[in-house]
Each structure stands twice: as C-alpha cells, then as structure tokens.
C-alpha cells in the first residue's frame, strides 16, 4: 500500500510503501522541540520505499554529537518530516502528522519515557520503555 504526505506549505510532497516496521510515541527531550511539547508520533519505514515526488529537503544534523541524527525538513515552512538515525541504517523515522491520512496510526510503544513529563498521558494499552524496547 502506498501512503502520501506533504509539508505544511506543500512545497515538499512524498510517498512511501509499506511495510511500516513500528509505530511509536517518543517522549525524549529532543522530540519535544519538534512536536511542540507532546510525545512525537512517528512510524519507522524502509528508506528505499520513500520517494520525494515534489521539492527538495533541507537537512540538519548537530555538529556537537559524534553520531547525530539527520533531520529532513521543508526550508520554506519548516515542517519536520523525517529523521535518519545512525543506529538504524536503511530506516527512516517519519512524523505521522505529515501524512495525508494518519487516522490509522496506533502506537505500539511509548519510548524514552525516562524523559516523560507529568502532563504526558500514555494510553493504557501501550507498553512503555525507559529508552527503547529490548531487541527481539
Ligand atoms: Zn513546506
Ligand atoms: Zn524522541
């Protein structure tokens, strides 16, 4: 199945194919800068199924970290669309709010709860982890 999405201004449009490897709510400090304060709702997809159909990303990576995440965003409206994380080669972490339809999103894990704030509410049926789930 093909999913499509775009940034807020529409300069960047993209598509990707399933499978969706995981659906997560991330409570880390970094994500709160990007989400506005709530946990960041994201999915993990295979990078090779992802296609930019219009426009071009700007990227950002912190220069003070040895293995920084690379963040992909619209240089016009600033919408943060996806992240590449060095420990997960070949994967993209995509913000679900950029998808045309994200009504199907069902979080499977709440991660980095070590950074969770008192006002964050994790749904009762979603397992939570201090950092990330242990490898299977
Ligand atoms: Zn934009
Ligand atoms: Zn995070």
Residue 88 belongs to domain with CATH number: 2.170.150.70
Residues 6+ apart with CB under 8 A from 30: 69
**Domain assignment of residue 13, yes or no:** yes
Output the CA 14–ligand 1 centroid distance in Å.
Answer: 12
Output the CA 9–ligand 1 centroid distance in Å.
Answer: 4
Q: Count structural domains, the chain.
A: 1
| pTM of the full structure | 0.93
Ligand nearest to the CA of 57: 1
Token pair recorded at residue 76: 């016009």
Distances in Å between the Cα of 127 and the Cα atoms of 13, 32, 102, 118, 122 are 33, 20, 21, 17, 9
Ligand nearest to the CA of 80: 1
Q: What is the pLDDT of residues 15-37, one digit of tens each?
A: 999 999 999 999 999 999 999 99
**Domain assignment of residue 130, yes or no:** no
In angstroms and rounded to an integer, the radius of gyration of the C-alpha atoms of the chain is 15
In the predicted structure, residue 136 carries a pLDDT above the cut 80: no
Output the CA 55–ligand 1 centroid distance in Å.
Answer: 9
Instruction: State which residues form the domain around 36.
Output: 2-115
In the predicted structure, residue 109 carries a pLDDT above the cut 80: yes
**Tokens 């590449």 map to which residue?**
84
**Domain assignment of residue 76, yes or no:** yes
**Domain assignment of residue 127, yes or no:** no
Q: What is the pLDDT of residues 44-59, one digit of tens each?
A: 999 999 999 999 999 9
What pLDDT sits at residue 121? 95
Output the CA 29–ligand 2 centroid distance in Å.
Answer: 7
- List, in sequence order, every beta strand (DSSP E) within the chain: 2-6, 13-17, 20-26, 40-46, 51-54, 58-60, 70-73, 80-84, 91-95, 109-111
**Domain assignment of residue 72, yes or no:** yes
Q: What is the pLDDT of residues 116-134, one digit of tens each?
A: 999 999 999 999 999 998 8
In the predicted structure, residue 2 carries a pLDDT above the cut 80: yes
Q: What is the pLDDT of residues 63-106, one digit of tens each?
A: 999 999 999 999 999 999 999 988 888 999 999 999 999 999 99
Ligand nearest to the CA of 29: 2
- Residues by chain with Cβ below 5 Å of ion ligand 1: 7, 9, 11, 74, 76-77
Ligand nearest to the CA of 75: 1
């Amino acid at each position: 199945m093909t999913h499509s999405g775009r940034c807020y201004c529409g300069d960047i449009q993209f598509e990707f194919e399933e499978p969706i490897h995981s659906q997560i709510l991330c409570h880390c400090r970094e994500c709160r800068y990007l989400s506005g304060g709530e946990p960041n709702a994201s999915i993990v997809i295979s990078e090779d199924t992802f296609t930019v159909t219009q426009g071009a990303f700007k990227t950002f990576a912190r220069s003070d970290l040895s293995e920084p995440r690379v963040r992909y965003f619209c240089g016009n409206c600033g919408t943060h669309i996806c992240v590449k994380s060095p420990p997960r080669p070949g994967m993209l972490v995509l913000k679900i709010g950029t998808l045309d339809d994200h009504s199907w999103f069902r979080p499977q894990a709440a991660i980095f709860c070590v950074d969770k704030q008192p006002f964050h509410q994790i749904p009762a049926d979603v397992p939570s982890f201090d950092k990330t789930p242990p490898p299977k």
